[in-house]
Structure 1
């Protein structure tokens, strides 16, 4: 275990460096910068050059890159170019709501998807093709729906028509019920996409395991059918499901960016979109770095779960 963690830590360095370099280059390929956003047509000449010098944009790109790497080595994310606020403070303020939505989405999605996928595999194994086909087609149709289109439909139904759930408003952690109502629509949008993917993989994995000899042996000993499926078959089919659940976290982070923007959630996604609009290089680079670190941590956790689920796995 210790050797594995050390190896992953060494692999983390080139990964983070590659992400930082790629984001640094891509941001500077976008026309305009923070000074053009702030000044518009009001400043030109010496005043605009003075603003660029204050933001450190007057030096060559390679020097800007080197200065940014030195900041990261000192664990300093710097300040935003537009407002001058500490980037670390903004991220820490926006991270809790994004983390809450992500954790609830993963938990609810896995619970519902694994249950549906396992039942679909069980019905298919029993020859009940109609139930299996209905579940499979429903998950495929849900997966094909764009998240922004689904979000707008849910807002139209639950907010404008029924008035049950708010689509905008403040986030109050002191009111748990109000907080759940506020994030309910984003949760539904994100869960639908995750459920459809994980359910299909679960169905395929469990269906393959149900034909194994040890499953027939468990049935021969008189174990209940659902106990055999959920205790024996599902556990031995868990490896592909864990893989997909871990990879789904990456797409979930992409989904939170769009969903938070649509529902005005003050999370990391909204912070990222705001930074892109303002051409705030420091803010965008730091937010994407945080996203990358979260994705790497989830991959490491997935590998550790592999070891727990199957001791035969070698690091």
Structure 2
């Protein structure tokens, strides 16, 4: 017996401005409830004490969650100099303090520029990465020493890429406002701590706000309050804020096929084609009046293959 769905078959992407003090999962479940969606997923968690862009995929858009999870991100952060905290942010206990050296903007820029490019990072202990099946933050909260925590975190050392890192402002002698554009898996808390060590006084993240995920910019975000107000006007109004699934892959080549070919693709078959090889393409079916996204595929050696198909009934005429 087929499992009965709970909620609507609604498909698309919501650009949520996640508020401070709310977990990414709580924000996800709230959006899912507002849309009464049968399926939802986010594209990379933000810590409760971080705010900003959290794209939420509804329905068949969840099949693109992993692509967005692996995409580059951008953040605005405030580094507080002269203190090192247990969690790397303002929630942690102060474990070390030091005097902040007097540095000019050019001296600071020289230090910051060292972190552009490929950078090795040891993830913070208060992260969701797992060791032997247990999240690091669970291990960190068991009262282990700083040395023990660092030894465990060291096992998860990784290389990430900082595409750009700019010093935007110096609100006070203890604060630096930075904008970071980075690869997936970058821990801003670790970056700020490493910058603080390079300056010679330590640092922690006082504020963190995500402004970009893959193709999406924070200028188009909506708050939970705004979504709730739209939901009160009905699903027809609320659904208008949904971005189409294909917005997740705007740079991928678009391949259009006829309805008969679309039926073969939806059955998992491949098609002969004269198209040039492409690792990733958007697959579209088209009739004389409209188009419909089928999913994504690839072209190799004259063959068009489906890779990930949407479970949405074909709505075009033969």
TM-score interval, smaller chain: under 0.3
Greater relative CO (CA pairs within 8 A, separation 6+): 1
What is the TM-score with the length of structure 2 in the denominator?
A: 0.21
What is the TM-score with the length of structure 1 in the denominator?
A: 0.22
Between structures 1 and 2, the one with greater helix share: 1
Between structures 1 and 2, the one with greater strand share: 2
Computing the radius of gyration from Cα coordinates, the structure with the larger value is: 1
